Amino acid sequence: MRPGPYYYYKCPSCGNILKNRSLMSGNTFGAKLYSDGRRLAPMLPDIPDLTKCEQCDAIFWLSDLKELGESRIGREHENAEWENANRAEHLEIDDLWRALETTAQQSTKKQKQCEIFIRQRIWWKYNINGFEIIDEIDDWRQNCLALLALLNLEDNDHRCMAAELHRNLCNFSKCLELIKVLPEKYKSFKEKMTAECQNGNPLTVILNDKKQIEPDDDNDIQPNDNSEIEKSIAARLAEKIETDETTAKNAMEFYRVLAEKCNAEAQYELGKLYLDERFYDLSEAARWLEYAAFQGHKEAVAELENFEIDDDGRYDAWS
């Protein structure tokens, strides 16, 4: 990788000067490719275009601005006004949501391109960082559906993105349907997505991970005493919940507190309790199981196979 000069810009809102790095050359050696389209390449870093002003918090596209000039090796601070310029950075999740408002200022064609760009980055941020509260799962899901609506399935790269979005949303059959017609150059992607769908995995995966898991020669390894004790306690608790209504009600409250903090296991258990005839509520069951499934809980994914998917992508009735 050969770094290039810094380019300097003026914030269109307050006139603050900021700089953006550039590359003379780079390569993808050591890069990781993810199924949601992300590429992490240490020798080819992603240079920001959409950024914000550290002084006034305005969000803008650097490609829409006129360059003030560039720094040259050994003459970086020839212009005193540029010496303390802030460096342009990629936006964090809150600013990305705010950036969606900027797309309304673009022409129709560019508006769609910009919205896809922003919504894809929002999708990536949640895939990287996970969820902390229930509202974030809902926001992530609505963003996925909005992004799907923008994609052109005649474009194979858009089709790949749509397939991965559907897999993340646990719509495995739709993912498989979309990748079926991809050309030969997408063979490895098709194989990986097919395997992940068959495994019931909705989580983002690395596409170019060559590491193989070596089989364990010792087939007689037994769980240690602690794991056996934990299984025994869990089994007794499950039996108590099944037979004692007071315990079951207490369990619901316990699981709800954890579920609202995005604990996938608690979301699964709460969803299962809503399928119990004592607390039966099909929509609540589907809601909590869906939350757990979106976080990769395999039992929740399997449970949702018994549900039909409504037109808006939600699971809401028995098939």
φ/ψ (deg, to 5) at 69: 160, -170
Class of domain 242-318: mainly alpha
CA 13 remoteness from chain centre: 31
The count of C-alpha atoms lying within 13 angstroms of the C-alpha of 179, restricted to the half-sphere facing its C-beta, is 26
Which residues have a Cβ under 8 Å from the Cβ of 296 and sit 6 or more positions away? 201, 202, 203, 264
* Burial (0-12, 13-18, 19+ Cβ within 10 Å), 181: exposed
Of 70-79, 87-96, 148-157, 209-218, least confident by mean pLDDT is: 209-218
Region 197-207 average pLDDT: 91
How far, in Å, CA of 106 to CA of 115, rounded?
10
The mean pLDDT value for 170-183 works out to: 94
Domain boundaries, the chain: 2-90, 95-198, 242-318
Q: Which of 31-40, 103-112, 222-231, 242-251 has the lowest mean pLDDT?
A: 222-231
Buried b (16+ CB within 10 A) or exposed e, 74-111: eeeeeeeebeebeebeebebebbbebbebbeeeeeeee
> Pick from 88, 90, 108: which is nearest to 99 by CA?
90
pLDDT of 216 reads 38
Note the pLDDT tens digit of each residue in 19-67: 999 888 878 788 899 999 999 988 888 999 999 999 999 999 999 999 9
Range 117-121 average pLDDT: 97
CB neighbours of 168 closer than 8 A, spacing ≥ 6? 36, 127, 144, 202, 203, 204, 294
